[in-house]
Structure 1
Amino acid sequence: MNPSTAFARVLVDELVRAGVRHAVLSPGSRSAPVALAFAAEPRLTLHVRIDERSAGFFALGVAVETGAPVAVVCTSGTAVANLHPAVLEASFAGVPLVLLTADRPPELRGTGANQTIDQTRIYGGAVRSAVEVGVPEHRIGAVAYWRSVTARALAVATDARHPGPVHLNLALREPLVPDGDPVWPEPLDGPRPGAWTAVTAPVTSPARIDDVLGGPPTERGAVVLGHGAADPREAAALAAALGWPLLSEPSGNGGSGSVPAFALLLADPTFAAAMTPDVVIVVGKPGLSRSLMGWLAGAGRQVVVDPRPDWADPTRSAAVVVPGVPVPAILEAPPRP
Structure 2
Amino acid sequence: MDWGAILGNTLGYLLSPVTIAYALAATGLAVHFGYAGLLNFGMAGFMALGGYGYAISVLSFGLPWWGGMLVGLALAALFAIILGVPTLRLRADYLAIVTIAAAEIVRLLFTTQLFDEWTNSADGLGGYHEGFRGANPFPEGTYGFGPWEWNQDGLWVRVFGLILLAAAILLVWALMRSPWGRVLKGIREDEDAVRALGKNVFAYKMQALVVGGVIGAAGGIVYVLPSAVVPSSYTTSLTFFLWTILLLGGAATIFGPSLGAVLFWMVMALLGNLLPELAQAGILPMTDIQAGTLRYILVGVALMLIVIFRPQGILGDKREMTFVK
- The TM-score normalised by the length of structure 2 is 0.24
- Structure in which a larger fraction of residues adopt strand: 1
Mark the structure with the bigger radius of gyration. Answer: 1
Q: Could you say which structure has the greater relative contact order, defined with CA pairs below 8 angstroms and 6 or more residues apart?
A: 2
